[in-house]
Amino acid sequence: MTTKRSLPHCSKHAFTEFVKLAQDQGVEELPRNIMHLNMMRDDTLSDTPYGPLIVGVSLFAKPPLAPKTVVAINPLAYIYTAFKNGGGFFHFLRSKLMAVPSSPASPWRLCLYSDEVVPGNQLAVFHSRKVWCVYFSFLEFHPHLSNENAWCPLLAETTDSLKNISCGISQVFAQLIKLFFGDDFDLRAGIQLVGPDGTQCIVRLYAVLSMFLQDGAAHKMVWGCRGDAGTKLCMLCTNLVAVKSELVDEDRSKLLVCNLIHEHQLSFATDASIRAAIKRLDAFKLTETAGAFKMRQQAIGFTWQEHGLLNDPTLEDIVFPASQFLHDWMHCVFAGGVFNIVILLCFTAVKEKATNVWDIAQAFVQNWQWPKSVKFNPCNADYFSKSRVKSNEKALQFKCTASHGLSLLPVLCLFIRGLRTRVATLNTIVCDAVDALHDLVEALVAVPLGLITADDLRSRVAHFLQVVEAAGWQLRLVPKFHWLIHLAAALARWGVIPTCWVHERKHRMVKRYGEDVRNTAAYSRSLLSETISQQLVDVEAMDAFPSELGLIRPQVAPRKERSFLLGALDFEDDDVWSVHTSASVRLTSMSTVSRGDVVLFKASDHADRFQAAQVWLLACIHGEHVALASVWEFHSSTDELTVYWQSLERPYLIPMDQLMCAVMWMQSTPELARTFIPFQFRGFKPI
Ligand SMILES: [Zn+2]
C-alpha cells in the first residue's frame, strides 16, 4: 500500500485499473507525462473532410471590447469520425438510417439541448466554474434518446467567460447552429459518411433543425424572452402575463404566477408572430429614446438582442422559434416545480387534520424498496425530518432532487390514498391533486413506450390544472404549471418528448473532467478535448446502443453457482457448457433488472397474465438467458396501482425474455408483499 500512498490521490478502483493496464500493455505504451498524455489524446482527435473536431467560434463582444473566440465541437466532424471508427455508433447509425431513411425531402430532425452545469460535488460546488453545456442528437434516435451515448457535447463554456459576449448564450447558439448549417457544409444538403475500412459503407445524412429542448432559465436567455413581472413569461403564448405570487425564491424575490392556466384561454404565438415582434423592436430601436424603448421591450415581451439568435438574418430559414422550442418536462415537474409545490401544499392541508402526517409518511416511504438500478434508498435520504419539514414549509415547496422526486411520487400517491380512507375529515380535493399529478407523470414516463397519445396527455394536463385550481392554489401556480399546457402539442408535433433525465447523467462527464482541469486559462479547450475523446470511446463500444437482452458486464460463473445452475437444468457439469453470471441484465424494453430486485414476469401459458418473483441469480448458460427467482403467489388486489402477493421460497428458473420489469415493492407482513404495477402493465392480470 505504500506505493499507492506515495502517489497523488486516486480511488482504489482507479489505482488497480492502472496497474492492470500497465501489466497488460507494457509500461512503454503508456504516456510519460501530462504533455505526452495530451498529445496522445489529441492524436485521436484527427482532422476530417468536415474540418477539425474542435473549432473556434468567433463572437461579438460587448462594445468596446474586441471579438472573442470560444471553442466548440465540430458536430459534422464528430459524426464523421464516430461513424468511421466503426463499432457501436457505426452499426447504430447505419441501422437507424435503414429504418428511417434520410433524404432532402424527409430529412432527420436535429435536437439541441442546453443547460447550465455547476462542476464540483455537493460539498464543494464551484460556482465560479459554472458551465453552459450544449448537446445535440437526432429525434430519429428514439427510443435511444434516453441513452447518454445518443447525445454528443457541442459546447462546455464557463458562464463567466460569456459575461462580456454581446447577448451571451443567445449569440453562442446562433453561431453553434451554423456549425450544422454553414456555408461550406450544410446538413440540409447532406453530409457523406464513410464506414470503417473494409466495410465499403458510404451513407448520406440529411437533417434540419427541429427542436430546442430547454428549461425556463435557458428559454429566457437564449430567446431573449422577458420574464419580468407584468410581461409575457412564455414565448409561445401571446396573452399570458405573470403576476406576483405568494412564493419567494431563494434570493427572497417573489416568484411569478400565471394569470391563465387553461388551454382554451390562451392564444398561441406563431413563428411569424414572434419574428414580427422582433422586427417591430428593431424598428423602434432606431426611433425611440432609451426609456421609451425599455418600456417597449417590456410590452412586446422580448429583449432586443443585436447579436441574438432571433436577430441573425442568416438563420431566418433555419430557426423557427414557436415550432422548435420544447420545455423540458423534467424541469417543469421536478426541479423546484409542480411536484415540489403540490406535495408541500397537499401535506400542509392534510396536517391541519393529521398533525403527524410527515412522520407517518416517512415511516410509510421507508417500507418500500426500489429496483437497484434506480439507486434510491429512502432510509438514506432525509426528506421528512423535523428540520427538513421546517425548511420545506419556509420555502413553500418540498425540496428534493429530481430523480428522487420521480421515485417518491408513486409512493406518496399511495400514502395519500390510504390516508384519505382513514381520516374522514380530510379535504379530498387536495388529495385529488396528488392523484392527478401522479396520473400525469405516469403518462409522461410512458410516452417513449408509445402508449400515450397527444389527446391522452392533453386531458391529463387539463384535469390536473382543474384540480389545483379547485384546491384554491391559484397564487402558487408558478410558470412551470403553465408549461405543462404545451406538452400535448409538442407530442402531436414530434411524436416524442425527450427530457433532460439523460442529460443530468451526462453532465457527470463534464463535471468529472471539469473538476480535474487545473489550468483555468485553457479550461474550455481541455474540458471539451477530454469530453469528446471520452464520447468517441464510449460510442465505439459495441454495446453503446444496446437493444438486445443481455447480461451487463458478465463474468464467468463462480464454481458453486455454475454447478447449481447446470444441476437445476439436469446438465452434466463438464467443460462443454459456458456459464456466465452478472449483477444485472438489460431487457429488450431497455429497462434493467438486478439481483435482489422484485420483478413481474409473463406467465408462460397466458399472454395477458403476470406473476411476481424475487430474483436471486442472473445467468447466461450457453446463450440461454435465465433468472433464478423465488416465485410468489397472487394474494389480492385492492386498487389498480398495486397487488399483494404471498412471498414464498419457491425457486424457479425463469427464461429471461419473460421478465417484464423490476418494480417497487414492500414487505407488508412476513408472508405478504405488495408490489407496484407500472402503468404499461395495468391491463394485465396477476395470477
Ligand atoms: Zn405558453
Long-range contacts of 672-675 (CB under 8 A, 24+ apart): 672/635, 672/644, 672/645, 672/646, 672/647, 673/598, 673/612, 673/632, 673/644, 673/645, 673/646, 673/647, 674/642, 674/643, 674/644, 674/645, 675/598, 675/600, 675/612, 675/642, 675/643, 675/645
Using the predicted structure, report yes or no on whether residue 212 has a pLDDT greater than 80.
yes
Return phi, psi of residue 418, to 5°.
-65, -40
Residue carrying C-alpha cell 432527420: 108
Bridge partner residues of 204 (DSSP): 192
**pLDDT beyond 50 at 186:** yes
- State the distance from the centre of ligand 1 to the C-alpha of 483, rounded, in angstroms: 6
pLDDT in tens, 557-597: 998 889 888 888 888 777 778 899 999 999 988 889 999 99
Q: How far is the CA of 306 from the centre of ligand 1 (A)?
A: 25
- Mean pLDDT within 244-258: 52
Q: Check whether 91 has a pLDDT greater than 60.
A: yes
Q: How far is ligand 1, taken at its centre, from the CA of residue 240, in Å? A: 7
450 and 342 in contact (C-beta within 8 Å)?
A: no
**Residue 261: what pLDDT?**
74
- Which pLDDT band, with edges at 50, 70 and 90, does 230 fall under? very low
Residue 443 to residue 507: CA distance in whole angstroms: 26
According to the model, what pLDDT value does residue 229 have?
44
Q: Calculate how far, in angstroms, residue 497's C-alpha sits from the geometric centre of ligand 1.
A: 16
Band (pLDDT 50/70/90 cuts) for residue 251 is: very low
Amino acid (1-letter code) at residue 667: Q
| Segment 400-419, tens digit of pLDDT | 989 999 999 999 999 999 99
Compute, in angstroms, the gap from residue 143 CA to the centroid of ligand 1: 27
Query: Residue 224 C-alpha to ligand 1 middle, in angstroms?
Result: 15
Please return the burial class of 86, using the count of CB atoms within 10 Å of its CB with bins 0-12, 13-18 and 19+. Answer: middle
Which residue reads 439507486 in cell numbers?
Answer: 375
Instruction: Round to the nearest angstrom and report the end-to-end CA distance of the chain.
Output: 55
Q: Ligand 1 mean position to 237 CA, how many Å? A: 4
Confidence of residue 477 (pLDDT cuts 50, 70, 90): confident
* Residue 117: pLDDT over 70: yes
| Residue 254 pLDDT > 60 | no
The secondary structure element, H or E, covering residue 329 is helix 329-334
* pLDDT digit string, tens, across residues 378-407: 888 788 888 999 999 988 899 998 999 999
**Ligand 1 centroid to residue 325 C-alpha, Å:** 11
DSSP secondary structure letter of residue 347: H
Q: Is the pLDDT of residue 259 over 90?
A: no
Q: 625 C-alpha vs ligand 1 centroid, how far in Å? A: 49
The predicted-structure confidence for 143-179, as pLDDT tens digits, reads as follows 899 899 999 999 988 888 899 999 999 999 999 999 9
Q: Highest-confidence range of 309-318, 415-424, 555-564, by mean pLDDT?
A: 309-318
- Cα(463) to centroid of ligand 1, in Å? 18
Q: Are strands 598-602 and 579-581 parallel, antiparallel or unpaired?
A: unpaired
279 alpha carbon to ligand 1 midpoint, in Å? 21
Q: How large is the average pLDDT for residues 516-524?
A: 66
Give me ligand 1 centre to Cα 481, in Å.
10
Spatial contact of 219 and 291, defined as CB atoms under 8 Å apart: no
Report the separation in Å between the CA atom of 172 and the middle of ligand 1, taken as the mean of its atom positions. Answer: 25
CA of residue 401 to ligand 1 center, whole Å:
25
Lowest mean pLDDT: which of 406-415, 501-510, 615-624? 501-510
- Answer with the residue of higher pLDDT: 14 or 493: 493
User: What distance lies between CA 266 and its chain's CA centroid?
Assistant: 29
Secondary-structure breakdown of the chain: helix, strand, coil percentages, each rounded to the nearest 5: 45, 20, 35
Domains within the chain, CATH numbers bracketed: 2-43 (no CATH), 44-215+500-546 (no CATH), 226-323 (no CATH), 330-494 (no CATH), 550-686 (2.30.30.490)
Using the mean position of ligand 1's atoms as its centre, give its distance from the Cα of residue 239 in Å. Answer: 9
Cα distances (angstroms) measured from residue 352 to each of 345, 357, 367, 423, 505: 11, 9, 25, 11, 39
| Cell output for 440 | 400525469
Ligand 1 centre to CA of 244 (Å) is 17
Nearest to 285, CA basis, from 300, 267, 272: 300
For ligand 1, the distance from its centroid to the CA atom of residue 480, given in whole angstroms, is 10
Distance 484 CA to ligand 1 centre (A): 9
pLDDT cut 70: percent of the chain above it: 87
Per-residue model confidence (pLDDT) at position 519: 57
| pLDDT grade for 452, boundaries at 50, 70 and 90 | very high
Residue 406 or 2, more confident: 406
Please, what's the b/e burial string for 47-73 (b: 16 or more CB within 10 A of its CB; e: otherwise)? ebebbebbbebebbeeeeeeebebbbb
What span, in angstroms and rounded, lies between the C-alpha atoms of 246 and 72? Answer: 42
Instruction: Identify the pLDDT of residue 17.
Output: 64
Q: How far away, in angstroms, is 225 Cα from ligand 1 center?
A: 12
Using DSSP's 3-state secondary structure scheme, residue 80 falls into helix
**Residue 220, Cβ neighbours under 10 Å: how many?**
18
State the distance from the centre of ligand 1 to the C-alpha of 297, rounded, in angstroms.
18
Q: How confident is the model at residue 19 (pLDDT cuts 50, 70, 90)?
A: low
Instruction: Work out the average pLDDT over 14-30.
Output: 65
Place of cell 506515495: 6
Largest CA distance in the chain: 91
Q: What confidence tier does 634 reach under pLDDT thresholds 50, 70, 90?
A: very high
Distance 302 CA to ligand 1 centre (A): 14
Q: Which of 679, 627, 272, 289 is nearest to 452 (CA)?
A: 679
Instruction: Compute the distance between CA of residue 328 and CA of residue 324 in angstroms, rounded to an integer.
Output: 12
Looking at residue 520, what is its pLDDT?
58
Ligand 1 centre distance from Cα of residue 141 (Å): 28
Please state the rounded mean pLDDT for residues 287-299.
87
Res 612: pLDDT? 96
Distance 236 CA to ligand 1 centre (A): 5
From the CA of 18, how far away is ligand 1's center (Å)? 52
Q: What is the DSSP string of 518-553?
A: --GGGHHHHHHHHHHHHHHHHHHSTTSS--S-EEES
CA distance 175 to 187: 15
If you compute the radius of gyration of the chain from its CA atoms, what whole number of angstroms results?
27
Question: What letter represents residue 492's amino acid?
Answer: A
pLDDT band with cut points at 50, 70 and 90 for residue 258: low
Rounded Cα distance between 83 and 81, Å, is: 5
Distance 234 CA to ligand 1 centre (A): 5
CA of 482 to the centre of ligand 1 (A): 6
User: Residue 301's pLDDT band (boundaries 50, 70, 90)?
Assistant: confident
* Sheet with 584-586: strands ordered across: 550-552, 584-586, 592-594
Task: Report residue 439's pLDDT band, with 50, 70 and 90 as the boundaries.
Answer: very high
Give me ligand 1 centre to Cα 43, in Å: 47
Which pLDDT belongs to residue 122?
43
Residue 402 Cα to ligand 1 midpoint, Å, equals 23
Residues 119-142, mean pLDDT to the nearest whole number: 75
Q: What pTM was computed for the model?
A: 0.89
Residue that wins the pLDDT comparison between 500 and 513: 500
- How far is 82 from 684, CA to CA, in rounded Å? 42
For residue 260, how far is its CA from the centre of ligand 1 (angstroms)? 10
274: pLDDT confidence band, cut at 50, 70 and 90? very high
Q: How far is the CA of 429 from the centre of ligand 1 (A)?
A: 26
Q: What is the mean pLDDT of residues 183-199?
A: 91
Q: Kindly give the distance from the C-alpha atom of residue 477 to the centroid of ligand 1, in angstroms, as a whole number.
A: 13
CA of 366 to the centre of ligand 1 (A): 38
pLDDT at 124 over 50: no
